[in-house]
Amino acid sequence: MKWDLVLLITTFVLALVALIGALQNRRAIRLLVAERRRTSTLLINEDELSAPVPPPNQGPAHVIYNPTKKANWDQIRQQLARVARDASMPEPIWLETTAKDPGVSQTQAAIDAGASVVIAAGGDGTVRVVAEGLVDTGIPIGLLPLGTGNLLARNLNLPLDDTQQLARIALTGVNRKIDVGVLTVREPSVPIVSKRHREPSHVAQPGRYVFVVNAGMGLDAEIMAEAEANQTLKEHIGWVAYFKAALPHILAPKMKAKITAGRDGKPVKTEARTVMFLNCGELVGGIILDTTAKADDGWIELAVIDTKLGLIGWVDLLRRAGNQSRGQTSSEIPGVPAQAALDIHRITQASLETEDAHPVQVDGDVLGYTNRVHSQILPQALNVRVPR
């Protein structure tokens, strides 16, 4: 192996270690972001948060849960039952997801039963499916985050390590309206072939997919697919598994993309490692791509991410992401040319078309390969239970 390559790999590893070290105190990071969000202008006022919002239905809470998640389910059942009993509410009804049905029919059953709240107990995938079913129904979603990312709960600053408090919030908290994004997968206009294996790949099914945190095409979807293929590793090392999943792709060819933002925007050609649509700013590992992104601001942040000069570019991108996560707005090193680009635009809708097919994901669920997607925001479309 050439010494310059050894040096580059060593630098990359050191940068990754530094980033992980900078993100160890994730509670402090979340508190910093929470304070910024608290002092910024929300689309709802403080009076709305100080008083409970009557639910549209008065039926028992329904819990849509993923039994594959490692959790003390008996304890969680007891905690929810106790909170309901103390609040003079009916005992919650539990509905289990399956590999074939990750929560679609269960959420519809809860809606048909007149549930006062539908609680998603599982990972980001369970939250996404339940949220998709509850859009524009007025019925709030409660969160019992039990996955690796738990991204919506993190962006809403919920107490991730306290299931008793999460149970109280889900059953007796107040409703906060947030935006949801919609990713529309269109029929591909190019052959669907995997770049790594040069063989036909799974085609993303055309249709509309709701996301509450982010959606994207390119490297982010590759990372999600790689991490999901190794669940055992995720269970052992948590969110660090996503960084490991990125390693095989750091020298992959860039996407050649055409982006059209807004209703009457003109197409712009670009090259990128990944293009993301953000409803929230915080990603796995506490990385914050945009400190101004809020779940209730009526906007999507279009993030175009690129790197230069191979591993050096990835080192620079990790450094920039670490700075953002620590609340540092300046990412430039005086006298040193930038080797990574994080280009963010505030939009309501945008179309993305690439020369070749790439994987797409919504809230970590990899849909398959395509080369054409469209994203838009649905403002204030979902009620979420948050602390009083």
Task: Determine the Cα–Cα distance for residues 58 and 54; give it in Å rounded to an integer.
Answer: 9
Residue 318 lies in a domain: yes
- pLDDT tens for each residue of 96-151: 999 999 999 999 999 999 999 999 999 999 999 999 999 999 999 999 999 888 99
Task: Say whether pLDDT at 33 is over 60.
Answer: no
For residue 47, pLDDT over 90 is answered with no
pLDDT at 17 over 80: no
Q: Please give the C-alpha separations between residue 326 and each of 89, 211, 284, 291, 314, in angstroms, as whole numbers.
A: 42, 26, 14, 10, 18
Give the closest residue to 284 by CA, choosing from 220, 330, 341.
220
Q: Which domain holds residue 87?
A: 26-178
Same domain, 96 and 223: no
- Beta strand 141-145 pairing with 118-122: parallel
Task: Give the Cα separation of 6 and 94 in Å (integer).
Answer: 53
Of 178, 211, 235, the residue that ends a domain is 178
Is residue 387 assigned to a domain? Answer: no
Q: What is the pLDDT of residue 284?
A: 76
Question: What tokens appear for 199 in the block?
Answer: 């063989």
Is the pLDDT score of 363 beyond 70?
yes
Is residue 145 located within the same domain as residue 261?
no
Residue given tokens 């072939």 in the structure block: 193
Q: Do 52 and 120 lie in a common domain?
A: yes
Q: What is the pLDDT of residue 43?
A: 40
49 vs 159 pLDDT, higher one: 159
| Same domain assignment for residues 154 and 211 | no
Lowest mean pLDDT among 8-12, 257-261, 308-312: 8-12
> In terms of domains, do 222 and 129 share one?
no
CA 33/CA 36 separation, integer angstroms? 5
Q: CA 113 to CA 202: how far, in whole Å? A: 36
Asked whether residue 341 falls in the same domain as residue 210, the answer is yes
The answer on 238 and 132 residing in a single domain is no
Residue 125 lies in a domain: yes
The residue whose two tokens read 């959606």 is 215
For 113, list phi and psi in degrees, rounded to 5: -85, 0
Q: What is the mean pLDDT of residues 359-384?
A: 96
- Residue 143 in any domain: the answer is yes
Predicted local distance difference test score (pLDDT) of residue 315: 58
Measured at the alpha carbon of residue 147, what is the angle toward residues 234 and 286, in degrees to the nearest 5? 80
- Reading phi first (left if > 0) and then psi (alpha if -120 to 50, else beta), residue 224 is in alpha
Is the same domain home to 202 and 277?
A: yes
Residue 19 within a domain: no
**pLDDT confidence of residue 191:** 87
The larger pLDDT score, comparing residue 266 to residue 43, is at 266
For residues 254 and 268, which has the higher predicted lDDT (pLDDT)?
268
Structure confidence at residue 28 (pLDDT): 47
CATH number at residue 219: 2.60.200.40
In a domain? residue 11? no
Residues 189 and 245 in one domain: yes
- Tally of residues, the chain: 388
Q: What is the pLDDT of residue 167?
A: 98
Number of domains in the chain: 2
Instruction: Give the number of other Cβ atoms within 10 Å of residue 266's Cβ.
Output: 7
Rg (CA), the chain: 21
Residue 35 lies in a domain: yes
Whether the pLDDT of residue 329 is over 60: the answer is no
User: Which of 178, 196, 211 is a domain's end point?
Assistant: 178
Q: Which of 215, 228, 213 is nearest to 184 (CA)?
A: 215
For the chain, give the mean pLDDT.
Answer: 81
User: Which of 161, 178, 195 is a domain's end point?
Assistant: 178
Domain identity same for 238 and 168: no
Provide the 10 A C-beta neighbour count for residue 4: 8
Q: Is 8 a member of any domain?
A: no
Q: Are 71 and 125 contained in the same domain?
A: yes
Give, for 224, the enclosing helix (H) or strand (E).
helix 219-228
pLDDT for residue 186:
97
CATH classification at residue 143: 3.40.50.10330
- Using one digit for the tens of pLDDT, what is the confidence trace for 262-275? 988 899 999 998 99
User: Within a 13 Å sphere around the CA of 202, how many CA atoms are in the beta-carbon half?
Assistant: 10
DSSP-derived secondary structure letter, 286? G
217/153 same-domain check = no
